[in-house]
Amino acid sequence: MQTLITNYSRKQVKIYLEDGLISRLTAFLNPNLRYFIITDERVASLYLDTVINQLPNFDLYLLPSGESSKNLEEVNRIINYMLLADIQKNDYLLALGGGVIGDVTAFVAAIYKRGINYLSVPTTLISQVDSCLGGKCGVDFSVGTYLYKNQIGTIYHPEMILVDPQVLNTLPRSEFTSGLSEVIKYGICFSPSLLEKITQPELLSEVIYACLSIKAGITERDEFDQGERMTLNYGHTIGHALESYSRFTLSHGQAVAIGMYYETKQPDLRTLLANLYQKIGINMDFSLPMAEIVDFIKKDKKTNQALITVPVLTKLGKVSIKTINLDDFCRGIK
Ligand SMILES: NC(=O)c1ccc[n+]([C@@H]2O[C@H](COP(=O)([O-])OP(=O)(O)OC[C@H]3O[C@@H](n4cnc5c(N)ncnc54)[C@H](O)[C@@H]3O)[C@@H](O)[C@H]2O)c1
């Protein structure tokens, strides 16, 4: 078993990673505690029995699968249900699912009775390599016809993260590929050797652990997103705009992959990305009006009129935060 301990200002987060861990949760859970499981319909159909068979005392809330569940209305319904189920301050939430379940559960945990404990059992590649750690959580928010990503939220850490790479065997190929784009982000920005390992399935656990280790270091040094942590958003400025503008017909991973490509200005690094995408099957085809995407980016939370503060790839494996002219940032977007 691989273990990673991350020390934040107010909490220590323990991460355990091992194949088959989902069948051995009793080693990590307290039989005297009550767990409130939040999961989605697809994950429940695959893994809920395995989890609840190990829990003597649990309640359950099921969300529809996918990004459409990441909103305040759903948070409202969950809290309503928790109050009716009499969930107490010393009970635990258990997030069983991908990034959507993780983000929603952590947000509910942060605000319910001013904060209760939660555990995370991430079940998608995106959630295992990235979203389960660092505590960022929240929901999307609609204003008129625009749906803004992650506009409501906070930073709130779990007590423990239990990662079982074997559950990725049931992940549809498109979802797995989507997760690989976050791995590419870690590779291109921080650790180029990861890019060679991506196509080797036998190295999956090693790749997940490497990504989590990178994220642990960055989020420990900059827990509250004041500087270095913003480097983790590489590709996400354009990516989030594409995702929101498409009303989530583009997956998070595909949007980030396209975002990384256009945020990368060096021709050789763009070629590197394009070749990798082709090798692992990330689709670069999309038909969105880029002029409107650029307009959308101007409304994004990271912009300040003519200037934008973004992570900039200075060379392979090196990214830094810069405030640049928005027109330069958008240069080369087709
Ligand atoms: N908090 C953060 O730091 C952070 C970082 C990156 C992404 N995110 C967020 O994560 C979300 C995307 O995450 P995601 O791609 O995991 O989305 P998701 O949670 O919607 O999962 C994608 C799909 O996979 C299904 N699924 C999950 N596990 C499965 C399994 N083991 N087998 C079969 N199907 C399974 C789900 O039911 C869902 O339909 C976005 O909302 C994004 O904003 C958050």
pLDDT score of 308:
86
304 forms beta bridges with 307
pLDDT score of 197:
95
4 forms beta bridges with 15
Cα(144) to centroid of ligand 1, in Å?
25
Q: Measured between alpha carbons, how far is 262 from 75 in angstroms, rounded to an integer?
A: 34
SS3 248: coil
Q: Is 43 in the pocket of ligand 1 (CB under 6 A)?
A: yes
pLDDT score of 316:
97
Q: What is the CA radius of gyration of the chain?
A: 19
pLDDT score of 293:
80
Q: Which of 47, 126, 163 to mutate to test the pocket of ligand 1 (most atoms within 8 A of CB)?
A: 126
Q: Which of 124, 129, 140, 166 to mutate to test the pocket of ligand 1 (most atoms within 8 A of CB)?
A: 124
Tokens of 167: 């559950």
Query: In the chain, what are the domain boundaries?
Result: 2-171, 223-330
Closest CA to 69 of 239, 248, 246: 248
Cα(128) to centroid of ligand 1, in Å?
9
Host H or E run for residue 75: helix 72-84
Q: Is 103 in the pocket of ligand 1 (CB under 6 A)?
A: yes
Which amino acid belongs to residue 80?
N
Q: Is 259 in the pocket of ligand 1 (CB under 6 A)?
A: no
Closest C-alpha residue for ligand 1 atom 44: 131
Q: Give the chain's residues under pLDDT 50.
A: none
pLDDT score of 247:
78
pLDDT score of 291:
75
Chain mean pLDDT for the chain: 92
Superfamily of domain 223-330: Dehydroquinate synthase-like - alpha domain (1.20.1090.10)
Architecture in CATH for domain 2-171: 3-Layer(aba) Sandwich (3.40)
Q: Do domains 2-171 and 223-330 have the same CATH topology?
A: no
pLDDT score of 125:
97
> Which ligand 1 atom is at minimum distance from the Cα of 251?
15
Q: Is 140 in the pocket of ligand 1 (CB under 6 A)?
A: no
Cα(328) to centroid of ligand 1, in Å?
32
pLDDT score of 52:
95
Whole-model pTM above 0.85? yes
Tokens of 265: 């200005």
